[in-house]
Amino acid sequence: MQGSNLDAIPTLSILTTLWDQPRWLEAYHLYDEHGSELFEAICDLPEYYLTRTENGILETHAKDIIAAAPVECIVELGAGYSKKTIHLLSEQVRQRGQSIFAPIDVSVAGLLASQAAAHKDFPQLDFHGIQARYEDGFSAIEKSLPTLFIFLGSTIGNFNQTEFPRFFRALAAAMGPNDYFLLGADRVKPVKLLEDAYNDSRGITAAFILNVFRNINRLLGSNFDLAKMRYHSWFNPEWQQIEMYAVAAASQQIRFPSAGAAMQWNQGEKILVEISRKFEANRLQEQLGFFGLTPVEHYSDPKQWFSVLLFRKQA
């Protein structure tokens, strides 16, 4: 297990984006322990089609995907050891035997849990967990080792216009010639389906989004009052993204004692907590071509709701 110092980063990230206009937050703050549990619950919601659709695609096509990407190592970005990863790992072991599995994740707890599970299920896998944010973790990957990088769940949809190119520049730079990249991306579809997936009838998504303020209170000693805010989300058609907001139900003064700072959060004012971009598969393939990633295959489900795209790094 490798680690890096992650502690100094969140405070700066939170304060700078909260002082932005409009106020917003980087999505990774959502995943404290409780947030991770709430996200697991989201994945099982009837309205949240993403996880089960992508899982179906991987279950159906894992054999072809692994056959198309002759590698010795699988690097998973985020989300250590899910059901969907197992389809790929078991095919990798079946087709190639002894292999390396290296998940990169900010959560040590998540990495340890996936290490225990992977060791039990796949004794032929060498496990190399890397505790880091994606871009920082890339440098730990040996470039000469034939590697398949996987980034599932449409997590790519969380990245804004700045983060997206930064991520792909770093990824492409970390990839050796003929390495592979497997990307799960949610597709544009009728608005009602999209909006329901992010506004479930049980209110789990609302709890997940507002929980970020509990995490921030814990990290920074601030006084966000979850009872005085509400959740609002919508599909922005021009930007083709679901936008998830916390809205102040009453004006409140938020203090950050550790930073000696305070902000006035006015009634009705929104904080953009998360975006979830939706993609057109062909356009995404063309776009990634500019980062030196050549499309190899496009896997989808019968309703064409979700895409799993395989790319190869140009030599």
Stretch that binds ligand AVJ, among 116-124, 155-163, 164-172, 221-229 (CB under 6 A): 155-163
Q: Which is nearer to ligand AVJ, 42 or 284 (CB)?
A: 42
- Choosing from 24, 180, 198, 291, the residue that interacts with ligand AVJ (CB under 6 A) is 198
Stretch that binds ligand AVJ, among 94-102, 107-115, 150-158, 288-296 (CB under 6 A): 150-158
Beta strands at 180-186 and 306-313: parallel, antiparallel or unpaired: antiparallel
Q: Report the C-alpha dihedral over residues 199, 164, 240, 295, rounded to 10 degrees.
A: -110
- Choosing from 99, 114, 147, 155, the residue that interacts with ligand AVJ (CB under 6 A) is 155
- Choosing from 42, 106, 206, 271, the residue that interacts with ligand AVJ (CB under 6 A) is 42
Q: How far is the CB of 308 from ligand AVJ (least distance, A)?
A: 14
- The contact mask relative to ligand AVJ for 276-295 (x = CB under 6 A, - = no) is x-------------------
Stretch that binds ligand AVJ, among 88-96, 97-105, 149-157, 223-231 (CB under 6 A): 149-157
Q: Which is nearer to ligand AVJ, 26 or 91 (CB)?
A: 26
Stretch that binds ligand AVJ, among 63-71, 114-122, 143-151, 153-161 (CB under 6 A): 153-161
| Cα of 17 vs its chain's centroid, Å | 19
Q: How far is the CB of 99 from ligand AVJ (least distance, A)?
A: 26
Name the burial class of residue 36, with classes exposed (0-12), middle (13-18) and buried (19+) by CB atoms within 10 angstroms of its CB. middle
Q: Rule CB under 6 A: is residue 100 a binding residue for ligand AVJ?
A: no
Cα→Cα distances 128→20, 69, 73, 108, 242, Å: 37, 20, 10, 12, 34
Q: Could you give the CA distance from residue 230 to residue 43 in angstroms, rounded to a whole number?
A: 22
Name the site residues for ligand AVJ (rule: CB under 6 A).
42, 50, 153-155, 157-158, 198, 205, 208, 274, 276
